[in-house]
Amino acid sequence: MATIFTKIINGQIPGTFVWRDEHCVAFMSINPIAPGHVLVVPRAEIDHWIDCPDDLVAHLYRVSHVIGRAQQAAFPCERVGLIVAGFEVPHTHIHVIPTRSMADLSFANAAASVGREELGASANAIRAELVRVGRTEVSD
């Protein structure tokens, strides 16, 4: 059975995308820990990140790096944090989160829900930065 992330990737469930390439996608978290919280997700359904091939892991982190730089330019944050937990959805994903302190990296801070308008505004800010640096993988 397809994971919720595969359904988002395939367009069966709405997602607010900022990146698409042949190996992965990046879309806004619907339960963001902070404004601009993005999930970088491989297209392949791989449950545990340590089971990903080395080249895919490297690609996911390169994309997370590019997204993180865009977030740092788009949102007031001191750092951009990464979380790879994998308990909530059995499909590898990297949380890329603009942060002001370690306290910002707690799932206890996750919003119960965020409106499409707010997700869209955050996505537009990230996309604008990606375009500004010449990235062609930007998606909407």
CA gap 23, 117 in Å, rounded: 28
Other CB atoms within a 10 A radius of the CB of residue 56 amount to 18
- Per annotation, catalytic residue among 37, 59, 91, 93: 93
Active site residue 37: no
Total residue count of the chain as it appears in this document: 140
Catalytic residue numbers read 93
